[in-house]
A and B are shown apart, each in its own frame.
Chain A
């Protein structure tokens, strides 16, 4: 390279590495911590936890906590890829029904063809990844907003779930597959429980935390994570500096597909049958958990840890209302207030902490 040959550094004096600019004083550590996307939601989760620990004494029992964590994990496992996708600048309205699509595929395929359930599980994975890839591919090829593309997929899947299930089983639910080959193995992987000090904890809680750890590492420590932030933050800049934008977006949608498959398998192997009309509305819960978790709806900002606390808040409120003995009809209203509150607190914390 020509500039390597005795560069004439005449104009700017190259400052020594010890020299500082001095104009940008480092903010105090507390403020810098508050500026992290997951800190606001962490404080919120602690507040909700303390609130219910006080208001509902039965929450203090280990088994109640295990139930709350289980509830949180089923939301949390999906909230993770949804959050990554959101950081990547898109969202997926088909995530809720895609869970059911995956479960239905595995269930009906194994039952109707009398296969080992693992065959159904694998095919369901392929179908789920395929739905994700289709969403991503449509988005990248057409340039349409993800709202429209995935709204289309959402409606298609919702209709297909019902129609195909009725066509195949003559019913709105699939047949019980609990006595089929491989069921117990698959149940052990997706829907078993284990004992911790006399409390039964669902395995999904472990998976949830493992996935969260992997997602955090990928997001902050790998090339791919860098690309996710970049395509969400500024797609055109990212493309201009050589980030494979199409690849990143499509794989993010496929990750959501993977999450849908995992949660779908969990539902199938814990309840043995699948109701084909379920899942509608869940996608908004996932998106809400990601937003409460500090992910920016417009992309480019967020974390994988935040949605963990976001999902925990959901599970906590959901079960806490029951434990507190309140009328569960109020659940959604409570959630709505919590969502708005969390978003406002996040906004305020970030404004305060990132102010120059």
Chain B
């Protein structure tokens, strides 16, 4: 599959490296959190833990409570039951700015950029670098361009012309710029709201690659999606929401792609979805068996990152990461 080709074997090695829990406490944790709007209970009893360097996938159908969940974590809404902890301390955000100050950044699919502005202006929008004393305080354009270029390259995005309006980039590239921006401005936890929903297969692959890149840089990633395939390619932990409650919360080693899809669909819709899935699988023929192999290896050797021989080349560069932490 194209995604795997784009993701290079490194993706697999990276997933394995990150699968064993590193012993640190979660950066963001929800304990029995819930939210009621008047007499409507949108979310109830949700447990979620986001660790540094791990991708936590939140799956669910429309109306399952995914949006409410992110809104609580990103500070747009407040939870009405349970606990919300950042670095082990209970918090209650009233604005997205407070969440940002704690290093929690949300990248919304449509709220990411200003299309007509150049890439570098978008990158620094709202946090511009300036130089000079007040009356003539001006943008430090050279430094901003250089920094934006460096940050984008660090995420593996190469753009020839940072002056081009960001609207001329493809949807996936735009999403990646937004992710790189969040990473640059000190995000520790990145919330991605359905970043692949409007994208084609190849573009989704690009975004998934940068999710993995952000994860490898030590960020905790919350990946909201209703595509179990995308989730399974990068996820370390899967939480499936259904009608506002957690239906499944499992590590990668405890669940297969098929189980995940079943949980996503649930009961009556299952038959119809299986049919659909078969078609999707038709596209994914190269990729999916690999994923299953991967799960098997992880289950047998959860603490040995270098175990899979097929990804030995790519496992080498990621190995030093746990020691560095």
Contacts and interface: CB of A to CB of B under 8 A. Distances in A.
A327 interface: no
B125 interface: yes
A9 B317 contact: yes
Nearest to B158: A21
Given A10-B216, A24-B164, A229 B117 contact: yes
Given A13-B156, A15-B158, A222-B138, A237 B318 contact: no
Contacts of A7: 216-218, 321
Nearest to A21: B158
Interface in B142-199: 149-150, 153-156, 158-161, 164-165, 168, 181, 183, 186, 188
Interface string A205-245: 00000000000010001110010011001101110111100
Interface residues of B, number: 66
Contacts, number: 160
B139 to A, nearest CB: 6
A234 B113 contact: yes
A301 interface: yes
A242 B122 CA distance: 12
Contacts of B149: 17
Contacts of B106: 240
B127 to A, nearest CB: 7
A238 B125 contact: yes
Contacts of B324: 5-6, 8
Nearest to B74: A240
Given A7-B217, A238-B126, A24 B317 contact: no
Given A233-B115, A237-B111, A11 B100 contact: no
Interface stretch (B207-215, B224-232, B269-277, B290-298): B207-215
A44 interface: no
B10 interface: yes
Contact of A24 (B108, B112, B126, B160): B160
B250 interface: no
Contact of B210 (A2, A12, A17, A24): A12
A3 interface: yes
B125 A226 contact: yes
Nearest to B322: A8
Given A8-B14, A9-B154, A17-B153, A243 B126 contact: yes
Nearest to B141: A221
A81 interface: no
A37 B17 CA distance: 51
A9 to B, nearest CB: 6
Nearest to B321: A8
Given A24-B161, A223-B130, A238-B126, A10 B116 contact: no
Given A3-B188, A9-B217, A242-B100, A226 B139 contact: yes
A230 B112 CA distance: 12
B52 interface: yes
A6 B321 CA distance: 6
Interface in A154-201: none
B137 to A, nearest CB: 7
A2 B325 contact: yes
Contacts of A23: 160
A222 B135 CA distance: 10
B147 to A, nearest CB: 12
Majority secondary structure of chain A interface residues (helix, strand, loop or mixed): loop
Interface string B291-325: 00000000000000000000000100110110111
A32 to B, nearest CB: 9
B121 interface: yes
Interface in A1-37: 1-3, 5-17, 19-26
Interface in B23-54: 52
Contact of A22 (B10, B156, B160): B160
Contacts of A354: 165, 168
Contacts of A2: 52, 188, 218-219, 325
B65 interface: no
Contacts of A238: 114, 125-126
A300 interface: yes
B212 A5 contact: no
Contacts of A141: none
Contact of B213 (A11, A217, A237): A11
Contact of A8 (B11, B114, B121, B216): B216
B8 interface: yes
A11 B125 contact: no
A16 B183 CA distance: 19
Nearest to B155: A12
Contacts of A243: 125-126
Contacts of B209: 11-12
Given A2-B218, A241-B127, A233 B10 contact: no
B14 A223 contact: no
Interface string B222-250: 00000000000000000000000000000
B154 A11 contact: no
Contacts of A21: 158-160
Contacts of B287: none
A21 B320 CA distance: 29
A243 B111 CA distance: 13
21 contacts: A1-B186, A6-B324, A8-B14, A8-B17, A8-B218, A8-B318, A8-B324, A10-B216, A10-B321, A12-B210, A15-B153, A17-B150, A24-B159, A24-B160, A222-B139, A223-B128, A238-B125, A240-B96, A241-B127, A242-B126, A243-B126
The 10 closest A-B pairs by CB, nearest first: A12-B156, A6-B324, A8-B321, A242-B126, A10-B318, A241-B126, A233-B114, A3-B218, A3-B217, A21-B158
